[in-house]
Amino acid sequence: MKLLFDTKRHHYQVLNIGWKEQKIIYGVIIHVDLKDNKIWIQRDGTEIGIANQLIAAGVPKKDIVLGFHAPYKRSLTEFAVS
């Protein structure tokens, strides 16, 4: 696993990079952006869910955007739309 932090542009990723036998492994496990004072979850490949962990840490749902959902789907959740 590799951590990729772009603190100037506020992009943060956890990547799965490596080799399994003779096959390359590459994938984004987590991708989070900080913009407009909100936490945008662009990709969440975890079982527990980054949003659930943020809520457990005290982050209000209104400050979390499920960016991996289309805008119309976001309005159907308890989280921020944008």
Tell me, what CATH number does 41's domain have?
3.30.310.110
pLDDT at 56 (0 to 100): 98
Domain ranges, residue 43: 2-74
Looking at residue 16, what is its pLDDT?
Answer: 96
CB atoms within 10 A of CB 41: 21
22-74 pLDDT, tens digit per residue, is 999 999 999 999 999 999 999 999 999 999 999 999 999 999 999 999 999 99
For 10-25, what is the mean pLDDT? 96
pLDDT the model gives residue 69: 96
Q: Is residue 43 part of a domain?
A: yes
81 falls within a domain: no
- Say how many domains are in the chain: 1
pTM: 0.90
pLDDT at 48: 95
Q: Which amino acid is at 10?
A: H
46 neighbors 31 (Cβ within 8 angstroms): no
Whether 79 is in a domain gets the answer no
